A and B are shown apart, each in its own frame.
Chain A
Amino acid sequence: MHPFEYVAPTSVEGAVKVLGEHGERARPIAGGTDVLVQLRGGRYELDAIVDVKNIPELMQIRNDSDGLEFGAAVACYQLYEDPGISAEYPGIIDAASLIGGIQIQSRAGLGGNLCNAAPSADGIGPLIVYKAVAKITGPNGSREVAVEDFCTAPGRTVLQRGELVVSISVPKPPKGFGAAYERFIPRNEMDIAVAGVASSVQLDSSGHTFEASRIALASVGPTPILCGYEPGSSGYDDPLAGKSVSEDSIAAAGKLARGSASPINDMRGTIEQRRHLVDVLTRRTIGLAVERARAAL
């Protein structure tokens, strides 16, 4: 392994400075559950590892009437062990509580999951369907990027030289909102999604009509896919808005999601199997999202 420096700055500015100096030859780590494994696997070489767990902004959690904002280094367990967050953001908790095992969840977080930009990431789809935004600071100041625009290719993101994700901000879900995430793995735990689907729905006050929806797919394309959306564009073609909640409308959404998937054949699954799973998981997660939305009416 190529020797690297370990740096543990205590401020965002300090981290940005080191990252800016090294560019691609440095990476931030929080839990390190992706970067350290990739380093040991020889996927890339680094000159510096920037441990961001000593930076207060990256370790904070704020959950109030505006919504949820958590630092990019917050570990999964900190989200699912918080009763308030668990009750209000169950679709995010679905992912936070199934990434890896207990040990991994105690180190790894959704910020790292997002920045690792794996096509199979469990955490990104749920953030997309909650309309989460990544708050980024770099040498030229701060900016915000919607999570659906964040990943650009496997392992690639919009982050520029020296930029760091500081936090992820999730708007407060309105009444009648529900979301869920489900993935398929052949085993019960400790596996990578063959396919994953996050769905959110906004129901009207009757609970019988979709006002809005989002369906995000994992492991079936080079990046997470938000159905009905071209990354970077302003248009969004909502698959369910205006439709009544019915088996037919949900089945149609499943078909649509299936069509949005562009999977590959690999050791984890086949193209046909993954398309089929997207259909099944879309119907299942919309069903669960509707249940959760109705409970919140």
Chain B
Amino acid sequence: MVAIYEPTQDLKVVGTRPIRHDGYDKVTGRALYGADVKVPGLIWGEVLRSPHAHARIKSIDTSAADAMPGVFATMTHADLPMAEDKDVDVGEGMVNVRRHAVNVMADDKALYKGHVVAAVAAIDRNTAQEAARRIEVEYEPLPVVNNVDEAMAEDAPLLHPDMHGNHLGQQIGGTNVAGQFRHQLGDPEQGFAESDLIVDRTFTLPMVHQGYIELHNATAFWDEEDRITIWSSTQGAFGVRSQTAGILKIDESNIKVNPVEIGGGFGGKTVVYLPPVAAVLSKKAHRPVKMVMDRTSVFEGSGPAPGGKIRVKIGVSNDGKIKAAEADIRFEAGAFPGSAVSAGALCVLACYDIPHVRIDGRDVLVNKPKSAAYRAPGSPQVAFASEQVVDEICDRMGWDKLQFRLENASKQGTRRADGPTFARVGLVETLEAARASDHWNTPLEKSGDGKLRGRGIASGYWMNGGGKSTCDLSVSDDGIVFMNEGSADIGGTRASIAMQAAEVLGIGAHDVRPSIPDTDSIGFTGVTGGSRTTYATGYAAYQAATELIEKLKSRAAALWGIDPEEVDFSDGVFSSKSDPELKLGFKDLARRLDGTGGPVTSTASVDLAEAGNSFAVHICDLEVDPNTGKTDVIRYTALQDVGKAVHPAYVEGQMQGGAVQGIGWTLNEEYFMTEEGVMANSSFLDYRMPTSLDLPMIDTIMVEVPNPLHPFGVRGVAEVPLAPPLGAVANAVTDATGTRFTDAPINPGKIVAGLAHENGA
């Protein structure tokens, strides 16, 4: 379903900044999150995790735990059915159900440090923890695969000896490369031959974590009729349902998922870890079972963003045009196939209109947790590489970095290397806004105290998503419209969806009351991910509201005894086209509906194949202490084509949040792994995310190039802000220090070493 819309003028609700519907509950602490769930008879579940990054599990003995007073049940992989060997969509990527079940609980091998090997349910958390420690596991440690180079080496230890990887269409066995693909456009050899300068660099990045504050949690009850009720903080209740059903091999309709509030996800709460375990423990214990991870478990046992190795080669002619480009992207999938390499490949060169392109991607298995989506999955990593190569080209050619990006910018009609051509997109407008910005036009002053200052700029791209959403509306007697919709609210989507309905209905944002019911009580709605929710669920709300107005017109016609065709609706007022006396506001009509044919409701569901793509441009000023290598970001501006900002304050918040995560990712964050494959910094203390004291105000400039696929011009806005920052910050460090850093994070130790090298020390 693709309809093309003209930009809408004269919007009354869309584009305003009302207080969010869930605001008071959240700031006062009343909102119910997963860890708050309490039901009668509740007991606690805990897991036992592998201390080895790679080991054969020779035996598991739960007898000591089973014998402990207060223990209700124990569980190993033997308690899970053999799940079907099929792929399911978890929102921002596919997961093979059978492998997913082995990730949830290890089978014959532990594949990463922190891999769950057994679980226990007991009367309280303390007892459950003690019992888990008494489960005896005999391991035979195996050689550890630490990174893509080790994984691809000849005679590398194999994580999944039975796995066949799809390598350019061929099924290949005996490999850690789970997938290999190529996109090609034109003739790259010819393009490079026509180039006057070719820059070819290789970059590495470690795994990083999304760093959501709320810990993974699940409460499950398996009842006498073999129906399962689950409460879990998730980006998608239906995803929890389908994954749990797949892993437990039961019908989806026998699972009801209650979506509780979510304290951050950024892609990491699209995948289930605890719900199937809590469900099996509940079945064995005949009690509801609650599980909450601790922070170390979240780092070691959830889904970080892939690290990897990226080579980018770009050729330019002396007239400032990119002639050809190549990218070779090797991502760490973790212990199971399915990294974001396919998405990364779509993003790596998407900001540029290049005639000849070749992009190779590999999905590589390593003994680390299975990677998951993280805000524009794959795009930040590849932009760290491509945006630094572009920066180096401009430095070497003496070109203006903004002008170069403008002259080579993707626009409507540009073909992405993997095939599709862009519809109406706003990269050019966003770059022009950057060129007009106060930040770009204010020269960077020298530091007074010997610190090195630099400025960096980078662009970034994200596809955005469409997909399935449902929205139901009902009109109450007092004119309030109750809305049920299926999207987990991570970033203010109750508000942004309700506002779209309110716009159509001609009432205020708070006259629409949104709720997110359980999975039995609303039609299927995909995960809140891929920046799809305000776009797709908002689209459903638009359609439901439009239908509601049609029904209300009929009711007005019935009241007035005229033909429904004779009823007009505008600015929240129903009126007769012929009789100016016949006029009713939305609420007045609502009060008079009794006796006109029953309650007025509407429902709409969508499955949107396409979404409008997003581009962002970030500018970063920072200063480096040459003595310690410490970097402080001193000014930062995020610009973005936001389509139409439904709630501008939340859009700005998304832009700022993405920039902040990118700053942390570039400068300090990493999975610091030992040779044995153990994450040494699995606490917030040592993981070193930036705090508010490490950041300047992130300035935002919203550029609105309406998305023709959406009635209000909405584009997804929440992911692309993490695409440019790694490039922008890295380029600023280079501008400050005169040294190019190709390995993330660019932390103080690397900067001091890099400067010493530069000075010949």
Contacts and interface: CB of A to CB of B under 8 A. Distances in A.
A186 B664 CA distance: 11
B128 to A, nearest CB: 11
Contacts of B166: none
A1 B129 contact: yes
A160 B266 CA distance: 50
A257 to B, nearest CB: 15
Contacts of A272: 749, 753
Contact of B748 (A2, A184, A267): A184
Given A3-B126, A268-B686, A280-B627, A190 B691 contact: yes
Interface string A264-290: 001111101100110010000000000
Given A3-B126, A187-B694, A267-B681, A276 B752 contact: yes
Contact of B628 (A187, A189, A190, A277): A277
Contacts of B78: none
Contacts of B632: 188
Contacts of A2: 130
Contacts of B70: none
Contacts of B688: 186-187, 191
Contacts of A273: 629, 748-749, 752-753
A68 interface: no
A3 B127 CA distance: 10
Interface in A237-286: 266-270, 272-273, 276-277, 280
B690 interface: yes
B685 interface: yes
A192 B685 contact: yes
A3 B693 CA distance: 38
B749 A269 contact: yes
B628 A184 contact: yes
Contacts, number: 55
Interface string A188-204: 11111010000000000
Contacts of A184: 628, 630, 748
B686 A267 contact: yes
A191 B667 CA distance: 15
B691 A186 contact: no
Contacts of B753: 272-273
B680 interface: yes
Contact of A186 (B630, B672, B685, B693): B630
B747 interface: yes
Interface residues of B, number: 25
Nearest to B745: A186
A186 B748 contact: yes
A184 B628 CA distance: 8
B668 interface: yes
A187 B693 contact: yes
Contacts of A266: 680
Contacts of B680: 266-267
Nearest to A265: B749
Contacts of A192: 685-686
A268 B749 CA distance: 9
Given A273-B753, A280-B627, A187 B686 contact: no
Nearest to B747: A186
A280 B628 contact: yes
Contacts of A1: 126, 129-130
B120 to A, nearest CB: 15
Interface residues of A, number: 22
Interface in A81-137: none
Contacts of B628: 184, 277, 280
A188 B694 contact: yes
B634 to A, nearest CB: 13
Interface in B707-761: 747-749, 752-753
A276 B690 CA distance: 24
A186 B668 contact: yes
Nearest to B129: A1
Contacts of A188: 632, 691, 693-694
A93 B508 CA distance: 55
A194 B668 CA distance: 13
Contacts of A191: 685, 688
A263 to B, nearest CB: 12
Contact of A189 (B627, B630, B691, B749): B691
Interface string B167-189: 00000000000000000000000
A186 B752 contact: no
A127 to B, nearest CB: 23
A291 to B, nearest CB: 16
A85 to B, nearest CB: 25
Interface in B38-60: none
A81 B749 CA distance: 35
Given A3-B126, A267-B672, A267-B681, A186 B686 contact: no
Contacts of B129: 1
A34 to B, nearest CB: 12
Interface in A204-242: none
A268 B748 CA distance: 10
Contacts of A187: 668, 688, 690-691, 693-694
B311 to A, nearest CB: 26
Interface centre among A1, A2, A186, A280 (most CB of B within 10 A): A186
A219 to B, nearest CB: 13
Interface in B647-689: 667-668, 672, 680-681, 685-686, 688
Given A3-B126, A277-B628, A270 B685 contact: no
Interface in A175-190: 184, 186-190
Interface string B208-235: 0000000000000000000000000000
Contacts of B749: 269-270, 272-273
A186 B667 contact: yes
Interface string B616-637: 0000000000011110100000
Nearest to A1: B126
Nearest to A270: B749
A280 B628 CA distance: 8
A280 B752 CA distance: 12
Contacts of A277: 628
Contacts of B630: 184, 186
A276 B751 CA distance: 12
A47 B235 CA distance: 42
A227 to B, nearest CB: 20
A247 to B, nearest CB: 14
Nearest to A3: B126
Nearest to B674: A267
A292 B243 CA distance: 64
A272 B748 CA distance: 12
A46 to B, nearest CB: 14
Interface string B453-483: 0000000000000000000000000000000
A186 B668 CA distance: 8
A189 B684 CA distance: 13
A191 B686 CA distance: 7
B119 to A, nearest CB: 18
A281 to B, nearest CB: 8
Contacts of B686: 192, 267-268
Contacts of A189: 691, 693
Nearest to B695: A188
Interface string A155-186: 00000000000000000000000000000101
A256 B370 CA distance: 47
Interface in B479-538: none
Nearest to A277: B628
A3 B749 CA distance: 42
A272 B749 CA distance: 8
A154 to B, nearest CB: 15
7 contacts: A2-B130, A187-B688, A187-B691, A187-B693, A272-B749, A272-B753, A277-B628
**Which A-B residue pairs are the 5 nearest by beta carbons?**
A267-B672, A273-B749, A267-B681, A267-B680, A188-B693
Given A184-B628, A266-B680, 6 more contacts: A186-B667, A188-B694, A191-B688, A194-B748, A268-B681, A280-B627
